[in-house]
Every structure is written in C-alpha cells, then in structure tokens.
C-alpha cells in the first residue's frame, strides 16, 4: 500500500497530470511527499499558488490516519511507477497517476469491457448477461462500471461464468454506488475480482466524474462491447476513449423501433464489429483455448516472456532493423485488423517493439 500516493491524490488542486509529472521527476510518491518546498519549486511543475496549497496540505495531512483508514477498509493504492500497474492502462494517453483498489488487480491477460445504458431493457439485460458469462467461461476478465442496467448484468454474468470481473468506480472506494449494488460489489471482491478508482477516499459519486472514469474502462480493455445505448448514452463516451486508444469497438444490434438501440445500431453503421455472442469476440481475437494457459498470468508482462507463434511471426517482420508499417504487415500476413492490433499491442507490452509514429513499428 502506497500511503504517500494516497495522500498525494487527496491534495486539492494537484490533478492527475501534475501528480504524474511529480512522480516522474521525484521517482516515487514518498520522495514527492518528503521533498522540500524549494526542491518542488525547482522542479517547475507546480504554479506558485498550487505549491503553497500543497505544502499546507502536507502540514495538515496525517499519514498514519490515511494508512489506518485504508487498511481498515481493505483498500490498496499504487502509482503509475509501480511494476504491478496494469500495463494496458499505463500505455494510454492519460493513465491515472494513482490507482486505488479493493480485491486483486486484474489477474487475466485478456480483458473486454461490456458497457451500455443504465435504463436497460429486458433484451439488453439478457444479452449483457449472456455475453459476459460466455466470455468469463473462457477466462476473459469483464471490465465495467458497476452502474445500474447493463453494467450490473455484465458483472453478474461474469461471476456466474466463474471468472473475474472488475468494477471501475467514479468515486472513493469508501462509497458504494448505486447503493443497491452493495452485495454485488462484495461478490466481485470475494470472487477474486476488483473494484478500482482514481479517486481518493471521501470522494462522493458526482456526475462530472463518470465520463473521466470511462477512459479507464476503455484503457483496461482490449475491446469495448456496447450492448444497448441511446444516441446520447454515456456508454458512447467509453467508445470515444476506446477509439482514441486504438481499441476495438463491438456493438450488439437491436430493434430499429427501440430508442434504446439507436446508439448501438448507429455504431454498426459506422463500422463497429457486430457481435451477438461471446464466442464472436473469442473468434475475432483468435483467443480460443489458448486462454487456458493464460488464466494465472498477471496483468503485466516482462521481456522474458516467450512469444506465441503469431507474435514471433510479426516480431520477425519488425526486427529487420528498419521501420515497418501496420498496413505492410496486413499485406504480408493473413491476420484480420483486430488480430494484428492485438498482437502488436502484446509485443509492445512485452517491450519487444515500439511504435515510433502512428502505425509504424520497429523492434527494440
């Protein structure tokens, strides 16, 4: 538990970008907390007023109290500098500098987000449950937001499938929202899943925090499945983040007469991948039974991990000493776009290749 990171996250006016910059400059949260005012000033990260407020916060803050509260509540805390920080999330445009969690961090190497309307229909509930359950049975971790409607059914389906699920909260983990999902939150943790949040203890569930939370849902996932959504559904914000991060977007078709399916049907018209079962997603990624060997992997990987046959093939093309474009790989190899993207992402996480510009790769 990084109690200094928790104290940093609670400091008013710092914000995610400044905390990230401080962690990068001082290497860890404890160093930031113990640095002198002059040292922090010389880092040229905090404006004068923000620095003054932060120094005052340090005087008032009780580190021991933070520790006791978090330990009592069973809450852990890590930063983006920790090795156990989820690598998929770390490689996004704006990863949370500090991450709070209850339970265990995602323990499966394959993750899919399942999202949709809070005001779901019986059709949407049934589909969300079924797809999440089918994916969970194949050891795919289900990521969602713990909200009413589609989120709830996705988490329940994942639990009934015997797998893991992660709730990404938009509030401090000393809150439960919606309150009727208290037992669901408890089941998620007891089953080996997790509830995570970038918000410190004491942060109430406010509307403005939910859109920002959606970037974490997308960032933790290889792809996002939208089950049911109106044209103005908040689930479409998650889609925007997914597209920004190069994640796949899947959509479930619905009735042309249902307002609740206007958003999902529009996504299909714009090119989202149509799915009606969990197996559609398994086939799309060619995960298949290979997942059986991955069930005990952590959510981070190392350089020493062996490559799959598919990864080795792509890596050979990237290790010629010259840059290679994604479209050239598609021409040379017989993978679908989504399969190739997953392989390239995996090779980047294993630090075998790097993206030097959009869609251009080279070996490390």
Domain enclosing residue 236, as ranges: 111-288
* pLDDT greater at residue 118 or residue 353: 118
Ramachandran assignment for 206, one of left (phi > 0), alpha (psi -120 to 50 degrees), beta (any other): beta
Spatial CA neighbour of 111 closest among 234, 193, 209? 193
pLDDT at 345: 82
Residue 300: per-residue pLDDT = 34
Mean pLDDT across 268-274: 95
On whether residue 295 sits in a domain, the answer given is no
SS (H, E, C) the chain: CCHHHHHHHCCCCCHHHHHHHHHHHHCCHHHHHHCCHHHHHHCCCCCHHHHHHHHHHHHHCCHHHHHHHHHHHCEEEEECCCCCCCHHHHCCCCCCCEEEEEECCCCCCCEEEEECCCCCCHHHHHHHHHHHHHHHHCCCEEEECCCCCHHHHHHHHHHHCCCCEEEECCCCCCCCCCHHHHHHHHHHHHCCCEEEECCCCCCCCCCCHHHHHHHHHHHCCCEEEECCCCCCCCHHHHHHHHHHCCCEEEECCCCCCCHHHHHHHHHHHCCCEECCCHHHHHHHHCCHHHHHHHCCCCCCCCCCCCCCHHHHHHHHHHCCCCCEEHHHHHHHCCCCHHHHHHHHHHHHHCCCEEEEECCEEEEC
At 1-11, the pLDDT tens digits run 789 999 999 99
In this predicted structure, what is the pLDDT of residue 2? 87
- In a shared domain, residues 215 and 325: no
Does 62 lie in the same domain as 205?
Answer: no
Residues 167 and 309 in one domain: no
- Beta strands at 111-115 and 141-144: parallel, antiparallel or unpaired: parallel
Domain count, the chain: 3
Establish if 173 belongs to a structural domain.
yes
Question: Looking at 237, 263, 288, which one is the last position of a domain?
Answer: 288
Q: What is the pTM of this model?
A: 0.81
Q: What is the pLDDT of residues 120-141, one digit of tens each?
A: 999 999 999 999 999 999 999 9
Q: What pLDDT is recorded for position 354?
A: 82
Q: Token pair of 356, please?
A: 């030097």
- Going by pLDDT thresholds of 50, 70 and 90, the confidence category of residue 302 is very low
Tell me, yes or no, whether 124 and 39 share the same domain: no
Mean pLDDT of the chain: 90
Question: pLDDT tens digits, residue range 15-72?
Answer: 999 999 999 999 999 999 999 999 999 999 999 999 999 999 999 999 999 899 999 9
CATH number at residue 137: 3.40.50.450
On whether residue 87 sits in a domain, the answer given is no
Same domain, 166 and 237: yes
The answer as to whether 46 is a domain residue is yes
Whether 88 is covered by a domain: the verdict is no
Residue 320 pLDDT level (bands cut at 50, 70, 90): confident
25 domain residue, yes or no: yes
Average pLDDT over residues 195-223: 95
- pLDDT of the residue at 324: 87
> 52 with 140, same domain?
no
Same domain, 277 and 322: no
Domain membership flag for residue 99: no
Residues 345, 279 within the same domain: no
Does the pLDDT value for residue 319 go beyond 70? yes
- Please answer whether residues 103 and 317 qualify as being in contact, where contact means their C-beta atoms are separated by less than 8 angstroms: no
Question: What is the average pLDDT across 136-150?
Answer: 96
Each as own residue / partner, the long-range contacts of residues 327-336 (CB below 8 Å, 24 or more positions apart, any chain) are: 327/359, 335/310, 336/284
In percent, how much of the chain has pLDDT > 90?
72
Do 282 and 309 fall within a single domain?
A: no
Higher pLDDT, 291 or 9: 9
89 within a domain of the structure (yes/no): no
Q: Do 158 and 13 lie in a common domain? A: no
- 233 with 199, same domain: the answer is yes
Domain stop point among 258, 288, 318? 288
Q: Domain with 338 in it: what CATH number?
A: 1.10.10.10
Q: Quote the pLDDT of residue 359.
A: 77
Whether the per-residue pLDDT at 301 is higher than 80: the answer is: no
Final residue belonging to a domain, choices 63, 82, 101? 82
Based on the fold, state whether residues 244 and 310 are members of the same structural domain: no
């Amino acid at each position: 538990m990084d109690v200094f990171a928790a104290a940093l996250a609670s400091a008013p006016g710092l914000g995610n970008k400044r905390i990230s910059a401080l962690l990068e400059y001082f290497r860890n949260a404890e160093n930031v907390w113990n640095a002198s005012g002059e040292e922090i000033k010389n880092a040229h990260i905090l404006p004068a007023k923000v620095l003054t407020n932060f120094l005052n916060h340090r005087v008032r803050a009780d580190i021991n109290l933070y520790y006791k509260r978090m330990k009592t509540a069973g809450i852990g805390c890590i930063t983006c500098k920790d090795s156990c920080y989820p690598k998929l999330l770390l490689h996004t445009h704006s990863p949370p500098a500090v991450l709070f969690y209850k339970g265990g961090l995602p323990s499966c190497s394959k993750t899919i987000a399942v999202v949709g309307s809070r005001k779901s229909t019986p059709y949407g509930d049934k589909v969300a449950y079924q797809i999440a359950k089918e994916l969970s049975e194949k050891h795919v971790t289900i990521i969602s937001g713990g909200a009413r409607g589609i989120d709830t059914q996705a988490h329940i389906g994942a639990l009934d499938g015997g797998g893991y699920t992660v709730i990404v909260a938009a509030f401090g983990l000393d809150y439960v929202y919606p309150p009727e999902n208290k037992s669901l939150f408890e089941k998620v943790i007891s089953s080996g899943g997790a509830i995570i949040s970038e918000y410190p203890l004491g942060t109430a569930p406010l509307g403005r925090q939910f859109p920002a939370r959606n970037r974490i849902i997308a960032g933790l996932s290889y792809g996002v499945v939208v089950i049911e959504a109106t044209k103005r559904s908040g689930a479409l914000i998650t889609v925007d983040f997914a597209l920004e991060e190069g994640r796949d977007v899947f959509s479930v078709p619905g009735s042309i007469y249902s307002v609740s399916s206007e958003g999902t049907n529009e996504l299909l018209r714009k090119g989202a991948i149509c799915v009606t079962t969990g197996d559609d997603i398994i086939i799309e990624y060619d995960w298949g039974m290979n997942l059986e060997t991955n069930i005990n992997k952590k959510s981070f990987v190392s350089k020493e991990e062996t490559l799959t046959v598919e990864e080795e093939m792509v890596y050979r093309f990237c290790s010629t000493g010259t840059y290679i474009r994604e479209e050239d790989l598609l021409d040379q190899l017989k993978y679908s776009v989504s399969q190739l993207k997953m392989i390239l992402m995996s090779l980047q996480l294993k630090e075998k290749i790097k993206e030097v510009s959009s869609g251009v790769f080279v070996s490390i």
